[in-house]
Amino acid sequence: MNEAKKKKTETYVVVSRDGSMSALGAFFVYLISGLFLGVGFWVARNKFAVDLVSDPSLTLFLLWSIEFPVVAIVYSFLRKAPEKCSWSKAVGRSILGLISGAFMNALGAIALGAPVGMQYHYLSSHAYLPKTIHWSFLMSVFTFLPATAVFGASWTDWHRAFASMKPIGNIEYMIVIPAYGAIVGGWFGAWPMPLDWGRPWQEWPICVCYGAIGGCIVGQILSLSLMFLFRKHKNLKVA
């Protein structure tokens, strides 16, 4: 009886022995990552007196540099085949995933028209390239990093989860849906950029960044909803 109770606790609280994640566990992962993203905004405003509008480069750097180690550490505990891949190895490949993901995001953004030159004003000039680089690193934290920590270099898992859009289990749902949410949110966030409203937040990549963060949050809410829905459906089916 004690063993059954213990197994049930492992299954529904955080991570079970077979590597699956409960909806409650996913919620806590999202909560931790969200709190540290908030810490990044707090540090930018209260310690450096900047925000995405006044200094996008520094703010984005603070956001991704604070968020990255938290996401890498947490998702490395959720790695596949832990008997073959140590936690430290998963963290190490997360670093590679961050860099390669930033490179891919930067290429995609530039291909879609993201500026990389200089922005000239009457009294000053601003470089676009640092903004694009730091935005790409933040997007990598939202998209590539969790998948790299969990999947590693398994092309089969990457293709099934992202290309075929057939994630299996809660861990993959909590990786794939927020990643797509960040991409779609960033795309919608870019819509106001060409409009002649003359607002400072229309500059690259401010509105895109807000859209990506909002899209990631929506994706997290959607993934949690699906986890609870599938759990309820499974319980009804068993009953």
DSSP string, 118-184: EEE-SS-EEESHHHHHHHHHHHHHHHHHHHHHHHTT-HHHHIIIIIS----HHHHHHHHHHHHHHHH
Provide the pLDDT for residue 13: 39
Q: How far apart are CA 134 and CA 109, in angstroms?
A: 12
Percent of the chain surpassing pLDDT 70: 85
Provide the pLDDT for residue 194: 85
C-alpha distance from residue 197 to each of 37, 53, 204 (Å):
29, 15, 14
Provide the pLDDT for residue 113: 85
pLDDT single digits (tens) 120-173: 554 444 688 899 999 999 999 999 999 999 999 999 999 999 999 999 889 999
The whole-angstrom distance between residue 138's C-alpha and the CA centroid of its chain comes to 8
Residue 236 pLDDT > 80, yes or no? no
| Average pLDDT value for residue range 25-30 | 95
Provide the pLDDT for residue 197: 86
Q: Phi and psi at residue 116, in whole multiples of 5°?
A: -130, 0
42 contact partners, CB below 8 Å, separation of at least 6: none
Provide the pLDDT for residue 237: 53
Provide the pLDDT for residue 11: 37
pLDDT band at 114 (very low <50, low <70, confident <90, very high): confident
More confident residue, 232 or 141: 141
Provide the pLDDT for residue 118: 64
More confident residue, 57 or 15: 57
Q: What number of CA atoms fall less than 13 Å from residue 183's CA on the CB side?
A: 16
Residue 96 pLDDT > 70, yes or no? yes
| Average pLDDT value for residue range 178-188 | 96
Provide the pLDDT for residue 235: 55
Provide the pLDDT for residue 7: 44
Q: How far apart are CA 195 and CA 212, in angstroms?
A: 19
pLDDT single digits (tens) 186-210: 999 999 988 888 888 998 999 999 9
